[in-house]
Amino acid sequence: MIIRSHHTDTPTMPFDPIYRLAGSWFSPAGTNARLSILIYHRVQAETDPLFPDEATVASFDRQMAQVKRVFNVLPLPEAVARLKAGSLPARAACITFDDGYADNLTLATPILQKHGLNATFFIATAYLNGGRMFNDTVIEAIRRADSEHLDLRALDLGEHDVSTPQAKAQAIGHILPVVKYLPLGKREDTVAELAQRVTRQALPDDLMMTTEQLKALHGAGMEIGGHTQRHPIIAGLDDTATRDEIAAGKDWLEATLGGKVRVFAYPNGRPVADYRAEQARIVEGLGFEGAVSTQYGVSTRATDPWQLRRFTPGWGGPSRFVPMLINNLRQTG
Ligand SMILES: [Zn+2]
């Protein structure tokens, strides 16, 4: 049963009052509030055969309608300030995107605008304007693999069947976690070498935003956040290198956009594995008002505002989406 409410094309669903009740139970207004922060990376026009669970225009549109009906969505800097002050509304939520993909502007932003929602976009500045993140070099090379079998033993990356989309996804799933933790220079060399061995086809150079697109995103009223320059795993960097990477990204964004960059997302974002707790103090010292990890769960007033938790919406169809967000409200740190 779908009842269309007046003055909006957002349908009202029969379970929404129950979800709001359960949401308010776990996440009341005020000092006991729990802040939900959702993570997205890309929104694609069609289902990606390699990653069929990734967000599409259709699924993202549906998810944003659901979030809007059940949660109170705030811009992230406002949510951080109100979490610190104990003045969040019940069922407070923020929407975030990592890395700086062009589809964030071309496909996600129109959907956010249609629903009247604000989101924060964390940008790894080095890959804008024709660059490509290391993970996308691996993904796009394997997508275009010239043969059905990859021998990457010379790169210490094993042998892989890539005869089907599922096999390609599995190969990518084995290779990325290894490549991700290589030192920055070696990571770039390794993925370049991998691409050469895997395909003779050119790889896309328009996955990330241009400077003009970033300005358009900012001009649309969306929040732009820091995500370093080159997306290193900062847990392995010393204090100087950490500060340099984070400050370089922040300074470039502020000079380019002519405004203050107030929030930051740790690359890859897992506490301990990807960043060390004491590095949160570097982020705080650089003038950010808050920062987000990828530790799942929600944040409370007891959570370090420079290590706020985030949740990747789980997969399993539209009817599972809000129940997963409600369930996530139970996980506090
Ligand atoms: Zn990232």
Q: 3-state class of 110 per DSSP?
A: helix
State the pLDDT at residue 331.
87
Give me ligand 1 centre to Cα 124, in Å.
7
Give me ligand 1 centre to Cα 82, in Å.
25
What's at 51, amino acid-wise?
F
Give me ligand 1 centre to Cα 315, in Å.
20
Least Cα distance to 38 among 271, 312, 262, 222 occurs for: 312
DSSP per residue, 146-205? SSSEEE-GGGT--EEE-SSHHHHHHHHHHHHHHHHTS-HHHHHHHHHHHHHHH-SSPPPS
Per the document, the length of the chain is: 333
Give me ligand 1 centre to Cα 41, in Å.
8
Indicate whether 272 and 239 sit together in one domain.
Answer: yes
Low-confidence residues in the chain, pLDDT < 70: 1-12, 314-315
Burial label for 71, CB within 10 Å (0-12, 13-18, 19+), is buried
Tell me the CATH number at 112. 3.20.20.370
Q: How many domains is the chain partitioned into structurally? A: 2
Indicate whether 322 and 225 sit together in one domain.
Answer: yes
Give me ligand 1 centre to Cα 264, in Å.
11
- The DSSP 8-state label assigned to residue 267 in this structure reads S
Indicate whether 114 and 221 sit together in one domain.
Answer: yes
Question: What would the pLDDT profile of 102-126 be if each residue is shown by its tens digit?
Answer: 999 999 999 999 999 999 999 999 9
Give me ligand 1 centre to Cα 218, in Å.
19
Query: Containing H/E element for 40?
Result: strand 36-40
Indicate whether 211 and 162 sit together in one domain.
Answer: no
State the pLDDT at residue 11.
58
β-strands 3-4, 11-12 pairing: antiparallel
Residue 287: count of CB within 10 angstroms of its CB: 13
**In this structure, is residue 308 part of a structural domain?**
yes
Give me ligand 1 centre to Cα 186, in Å.
18
**In this structure, is residue 20 part of a structural domain?**
yes
Indicate whether 227 and 279 sit together in one domain.
Answer: yes
Give me ligand 1 centre to Cα 233, in Å.
10
Least Cα distance to 311 among 322, 224, 21 occurs for: 322
The answer to whether 264 touches 281, Cβ cutoff 8 Å, is no
Give me ligand 1 centre to Cα 5, in Å.
38
Please give the Cα distance from 144 to 191 (Å, whole number). Answer: 14
Give strand pairing partners of 92.
Answer: 72
State the pLDDT at residue 60.
95
Indicate whether 120 and 180 sit together in one domain.
Answer: no
Give me ligand 1 centre to Cα 185, in Å.
17
Give me ligand 1 centre to Cα 268, in Å.
5
Give me ligand 1 centre to Cα 198, in Å.
24
Write the CB contacts of 173 (distance below 8 Å, at least 6 apart in sequence). none
Q: Give this prediction's pTM.
A: 0.94
State the pLDDT at residue 1.
43
Domain that holds residue 211: 3-129+206-328
State the pLDDT at residue 135.
96
Give me ligand 1 centre to Cα 114, in Å.
26
Token look-up 């050119």 returns 202
The answer to whether 111 touches 42, Cβ cutoff 8 Å, is no
Give me ligand 1 centre to Cα 20, in Å.
31
What's at 273, amino acid-wise?
A
Give me ligand 1 centre to Cα 267, in Å.
5
β-strands 263-265, 290-292 pairing: parallel
